[in-house]
A and B are shown apart, each in its own frame.
Chain A
Amino acid sequence: MKVYVNRQPVEVLPGMTVRHALLAANLLDSLAEGKKPYDEWGHEVGLDGALTPEMKIHLK
């Protein structure tokens, strides 16, 4: 399925998580810089959170 990380589309498998999406977007290392993932409504999401098609994640 397709999800978006910082507006970049990435393809992930069913059952994959926010962590996988960040990995697919090459942005997992941003977490070590103190960034956190948020959904499009501004709520922080856990790295093991499930993904849904077209989900938009932002790192900030």
Chain B
Amino acid sequence: MNRLRLFFWCLLLILWLAAPVQAGEAALRLLHINDFHGFAEPYQPLAAPELLGGMAALAGTVDRLRAERPTLLLAAGDMIQGNNWANLFQGKSSIELMNAMGFDAMVLGNHEFDFGQQVLTERIKEARFPVLGANVRGLGLIKPYVIKKVNGLRVAIIGVVTADTPTHTSPKNVAGLKFSPPAEAVANCLKELKGKADLVVVLSHIGYQEDRALAAQVPGIDVIVGGHSHTKVTTPERINQTVIVQAWEHGKVLGVLDLDLKDGKIVKYSGRLVEIKPGSGPVDAKVLEIVARYSQQVNALLDRPVGKTEVDLNGEQVRLRETNLGDLVADIMRRATGADVALLNGGTIRTSIRRGEIKAKDIYTVLPFDNYLVAIRMTGRQLKQALEHGVSGLPEGSGRFPQVSGLSFNCSRGAPPGSRVREVLVGGQPLQPGKVYVVATHDFLAAGGDGYRSFGEALKAGTGFRLLGGALTSKNLVYNNPGVWLRDLVIDYLKSRPAISPATEGRIKEVG
């Protein structure tokens, strides 16, 4: 009898354990970050009164919250590129950090492609978590979705990245890849997942506006964990039956979404963003070691020589006249983009470099801003307007003063602003007002920085961006590479030569 009773209870236990989850209740916690961009150390954002972020503190918070509930830790893209802490190791540091933290899944962000497909493939191989991209074809090792079993729940995680990725990076980084509309990819995955998942999470790197549109357009998504737009969604939003969250940027907050499910449906949810800053809680020692180790390597790398100059490089007078350092940087810009002409504002260059060895940190001090290159088709008239604007601040020095390559002009300080630029030669030939030239500059000026309007005007005249074979084509935009900073191009140039000795060449002559 006792054996029979024992058998009966064992059978009951087996049946209870094997019972489909839909018949019961389950709790799940989703922890999420997005757009980390290598900000592993705490930092003080613009206009912020204190340091924020820090992955050791974030990891400590993850450890604590994980212990409270069955949890999945998710990354919504843009994890391996951005800050020196990531860039100088091409994201290897980020992956090591994420492995140590035990991430459960990550979706590709547009910036994951910035180091090229070969490097990205290496990073994916190093990752001890699946890397997702349901709407990306042609890149091996990524998966459209993964099913995680947590607390008896089958959680499907589908990853999608913005289909605009080819416009956010160099075309060579996405050669051979196809990016389809995220909604279409999600809908296809949902068909495959029918009957196989108790909860569907879309891990998205398409931006908050697009997340809302996705939720409105595609039924059957329980949660969208978002990124790309760096949106601080302090309490979750719900569109139809889909809960949408996003955790700002740079690890300054950790997203927490608690879900209670019954019979396969979310019956209760609550979400919040936990602020992360130094002293906000215990740190994770392993992550602290990883952060510190790579930070030390950053300092060591920045202290390394990258080149040599046989002359002083003048960064002091860039706001008043042509200098050899201005010429050098402009030449590098023109070369990198294949443009006819390059123009940058003197204010981009912050200091000089003395004759002798050049270290990486010297270039970082000369060019501290995260500027990237663009090249735009402009008429000769628009180019001259840009030059006039550049010299309009004289005789006072101003950040807008132009440093140029591929052209020369005379500047009459005594003339009124707007009428100072004379005898412009492009490639040795007189500038023709109606002719179209390809002009390299950087994103700050292209967006209208320092009052430069000509670039925006030129771009407006050629609106209608479209993709052909993954590459950006547009009437007036010739080159656009947000993934590579100007200063890294300068470093690469210096490394390629035993020494440099730039001299001013009379590109900007003062007359009358």
Chain A interfacial positions (CB closer than 8 Å to B): 1, 10-16, 18, 20-21, 23-24, 26, 31-32, 34, 39, 41, 43-50, 52, 55
Contact = CB atoms under 8 A, between A and B. Distances in A.
B469 interface: no
B456 interface: yes
Given A47-B230, A50-B230, 18 more contacts: A1-B465, A10-B448, A11-B463, A13-B480, A14-B168, A14-B480, A16-B443, A20-B447, A24-B448, A26-B448, A43-B232, A44-B232, A46-B232, A46-B248, A49-B230, A49-B249, A50-B162, A50-B168
A13 B229 contact: no
B208 interface: yes
Contacts of B386: none
Given A34-B47, A48-B249, A14 B465 contact: yes
Contacts of B374: 13
13 contacts: A14-B465, A14-B472, A14-B480, A15-B168, A21-B447, A23-B449, A24-B448, A26-B448, A39-B209, A41-B208, A48-B37, A49-B231, A50-B207
Interface in B182-198: none
B229 A12 contact: no
A13 B455 CA distance: 11
A13 B35 contact: no
B477 interface: yes
A11 B164 CA distance: 17
A46 B230 CA distance: 5
A11 B456 contact: yes
A50 B460 CA distance: 20
A6 to B, nearest CB: 15
Given A14-B164, A15-B168, A50-B207, A45 B443 contact: no
Interface of B: 35, 37, 45-47, 82, 110, 162, 164, 167-169, 207-210, 212, 228-234, 237, 246, 248-250, 374, 443-444, 446-449, 456, 459-460, 463, 465, 472, 477, 480, 482
Contacts of B233: 43
Contact of B447 (A24, A31, A55): A24
Contacts of A48: 35, 37, 82, 230, 249
A21 B449 CA distance: 10
A4 to B, nearest CB: 13
B250 A39 contact: no
Contacts of A23: 444, 447-449
A43 B246 CA distance: 10
B443 A20 contact: yes
